[in-house]
Amino acid sequence: MDKIHDFLVNLDSYIGGHTWFIVLLLGTGIFFTIYLKFPQFRYFKHAVRIVRGKFDKADDIGDASHFQALATALSGTVGTGNIAGVALAIHLGGPAALFWMLVTAMFGMTTKFVEVTISHKYRDILPDGSISGGPMYYMKKRLNINRKNGKIIKVGAWLGGFFAVATILSSFGTGSLPQINSISTSMFRTFGVDEKVTGAILAVLLGLVIIGGIKRIAKVTSRLVPAMAIIYLIGALLVIGTNYENIIPSLISIFRDAFTGTAAVGGFLGASFAFAVNRGVNRGLFSNEAGQGSAPIAHSAARAHEPVSEGLVAILEPFIDTIIICTLTGLVLLSTGVWNEKIDNQFQQADMLFLEGVYDDTKTEDRIKLNNHLLNKETLEPFSGSLIIENGQIPSEVTLLCARSIAEDVSFYSNGELHTGSILIKSGKLQDELGEYMVQGKSLMHSAQLTTEAFSRSVMGGGGKYIVSIGLLLFAFSTAISWSYYGGRAVTYLFGSKYVIYYRMFYVVAFFFAAFTDTTIVWAISYLTIAIMTIPNLIGILILSPEIKRTIKKYWVDFGKEWPGVKLPK
């Protein structure tokens, strides 16, 4: 597992974790924001009116209403990214990472508008009357190269095929694996329910829902999304209200560190500016999926007689998902102080690293060395060899890092009792292929566990963790439902609709197994699959930017003629 994790992280460092990807993602949003004259602000009020059905027509073609399409797309984005993803971003990059998540969302509102508009324009109506759409369709129809001799080079078809394959992979990396993994982890920590039991029950429920296709999915998500949002928002406000004296300092830390990075504080060993931007943008993309090309698949099924109105609906997604929900989660984590506090927990193997020698995070010199090590600026010597464990305690000549912090009060268990004997360490990693050992102690925490801990620091006390578990259950389960639809549309594009049933069966099986897979492995897969799906879509919409602008301009001309009494946005 360690080798798989290291391979995935290393590969992602050249793709989604690299500076060029950040520039491409943010640059596309900034370009379209300027090119289209800040549509996320100018058209926001009009987008709300469209969702309310103000301009619907009886003869609009599609499988879902504007609201249902928005709910389906939101259910695909409002998930672990809002609970576990924010916690992971702050764990890695400090409060500054939240700032860059918000920046990503602001420009992402325009990116969503653009990608949904062009995808809806080139959607297909299948023989059975259902709608299939997404970036692969506009790529196939609009990105081929016409040579002067009349020969057509089908670049778009190949690019669409690549995107469809990436969508299938991302349906697992984004929609299935991290969702159930976060649910099962939270249920185990809150209620003590075995991860396999949680996975089995929800896999059965997932199968029952997704077999019904987009109409059943839209019906379920249009009920789940409002319910889960209300539950979570009330809980978050209670936590923030309880810690009201820390609201202003938390907000200051978000903006103060935005262009400098976060200094070491508490158990947190610090993060550079570049790392905060990288993790903030990456987690922002995971949260709202602006530019990833997933939402256009859901919006393509919406009942609309032209594409721009549905693109306008999509503007609301990053605003609701990231600017509102992620900000509240971030304030929960920062105001309670759990983000830089070492907390009793059960260590995951991929989070642990044994270092040669003794380091003390209360000493400035050691903190600098450890920070440089975490940022790959300096390599500290990992321990290799056998360690003698006595009554569960590790010897003092090594330092155990866990979750990017020096672990304290560490205890090793085997067969439910404190372990005595030798353990094998290779290049800093515990060799435990059979899962013989359980390691507990104090360290920083990340992902869903961190948010769960934060929710217990309020007037709700221990009851706060139930809000996270229930919210995460609804958030993540609805995300898994929506992504099964996205993957199914990609399968339809590549192989035809008759093969979708086999994809759904495999999707449910993978959903079950991910419930008890190492969390760090799951997130590493997520990082990678998001990037390979996003890249071709961003390139595609940039190439088609002149057509997108013409389509939007025509919409407002036609809208003014059709609804002469309605005041148009300036």
Q: Alpha-carbon distance 65 to 261, whole Å?
A: 43
Domain ranges of the chain: 2-341+456-562, 343-443
Which pLDDT score is estimated for 1?
Answer: 61
Cβ distance 97 to 88 under 8 Å? Answer: no
pTM of the model as a whole: 0.84
Average pLDDT for residues 407-416, to the nearest whole number? 94
Helical spans, DSSP H, in 149-290:
155-170, 177-191, 195-210, 213-242, 247-256, 273-288
Q: Alpha-carbon distance 82 to 326, whole Å?
A: 5
Pairing of strands 405-406, 398-402: antiparallel
Token pair, residue 418, equals 């404190």
Average pLDDT for residues 341-357, to the nearest whole number? 92
Token pair, residue 47, equals 């987008």
For residue 212, the 8-state DSSP code is T
| pLDDT tens digits, one per residue of 34-87 | 999 999 999 999 999 998 888 877 777 767 777 877 876 776 667 677 888 899
Q: What is the CA radius of gyration of the chain?
A: 24
Average pLDDT for residues 490-514, to the nearest whole number? 92
Residue type, 232: Y
Q: Alpha-carbon distance 101 to 255, whole Å?
A: 12
Q: Which residues contact 7 (CB under 8 A, 6 or more apart)?
A: none
Average pLDDT for residues 98-119, to the nearest whole number? 94
Cβ distance 462 to 191 under 8 Å? Answer: no
Q: Alpha-carbon distance 140 to 190, whole Å?
A: 47
Q: Which residues contact 70 (CB under 8 A, 6 or more apart)?
A: 51, 299, 313, 314, 316, 317
Q: Alpha-carbon distance 371 to 383, whole Å?
A: 18
Average pLDDT for residues 470-486, to the nearest whole number? 83
pLDDT at 189 > cutoff 80: no
Comparison of pLDDT for 368 and 64, the residue scoring more:
368
Cβ distance 532 to 11 under 8 Å? Answer: no
Closest listed residue to residue 209, CA positions, set 200, 218, 222: 218
Angle, in degrees to the nearest 10, between helices 447-455 and 213-242: 50
Angle CA(127)–CA(129)–CA(130) in degrees, nearest 5?
105
Name the CATH code of domain 2-341+456-562 (choices 1.20.1740, 1.10.3470, 1.10.1060, 1.10.1760).
1.20.1740
Which pLDDT score is estimated for 54?
Answer: 83
| pLDDT tens digits, one per residue of 247-265 | 999 999 999 989 988 888 9
For residue 265, the 8-state DSSP code is B
Cross-strand pairs, 414:
417, 437
